[in-house]
């Protein structure tokens, strides 16, 4: 099978690289806590019950399950489709960019709303804001790129 075009736009490489890196990060940071939350805390990918309460741990684990069952597979489908230059990959990529925006907004407001609740002492650090900002920036830019120039990714 011969690819239609060997010259890919820079946006293609930005999207594919972000998705590949995100898949690895999500597998470590979001799948690990489902099975071994203390390990994820020791690795620095999650916050312990001393910071977010036992209730907070279970909320985070629910996000982790959703990421593992929905976000990671969609990201992999998107990557495979983009590599194969399939039109359907644009839909999967649009879903991934939308989720990228959604989870940051949901998580950010969860942290804000839980602040001051008994047992909840989490204060987001610079690294948290950088990662969250990267996902929002990727999500908004990626979605706009797909709307206005998405065909360039597979053509």
Q: At 7, give phi and psi (nearest 5°).
A: -90, 115
Give the domain ranges of the chain. 10-154
79-128 pLDDT, tens digit per residue, is 999 999 999 999 999 999 999 999 999 999 999 999 999 999 999 999 99
Q: Give the model's pLDDT for residue 2.
A: 47
Query: What is the number of other CB atoms lying within 10 angstroms of the CB of residue 125?
Result: 9
pTM attached to this predicted model = 0.90
Q: Which two tokens stand for residue 13?
A: 């490489």
CB 66 within 8 A of CB 26: no
On whether the CB atoms of residues 153 and 12 are closer than 8 A, the answer is: yes
Radius of gyration of the chain measured on its C-alpha atoms? 17
Tokens describing residue 16 = 């594919």
Give the confidence band of 17 by pLDDT, cuts at 50, 70, 90.
Answer: very high
How much is the pLDDT for 33?
A: 98
């Amino acid at each position: 099978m011969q690819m239609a075009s060997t010259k890919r736009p820079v946006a293609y490489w930005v999207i594919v690289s972000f998705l590949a890196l995100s898949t690895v990060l999500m597998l470590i940071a979001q799948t690990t806590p489902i099975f071994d939350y203390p390990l994820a805390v020791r690795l620095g990918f999650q916050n312990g019950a001393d910071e977010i309460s036992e209730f907070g741990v279970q909320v985070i684990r629910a996000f982790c399950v959703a990421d593992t069952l929905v976000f990671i597979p969609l990201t992999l489908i998107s990557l495979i489709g983009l590599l194969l230059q399939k039109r359907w990959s644009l839909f999967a990529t649009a879903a991934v960019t939308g989720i990228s925006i959604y989870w940051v907004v949901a998580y950010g407001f969860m942290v804000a709303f839980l602040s001051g609740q008994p047992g909840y002492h989490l204060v987001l650090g610079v690294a948290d804001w950088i990662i969250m900002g990267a996902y929002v920036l990727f999500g908004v830019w990626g979605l706009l790129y797909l709307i206005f120039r998405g065909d360039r990714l597979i053509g």
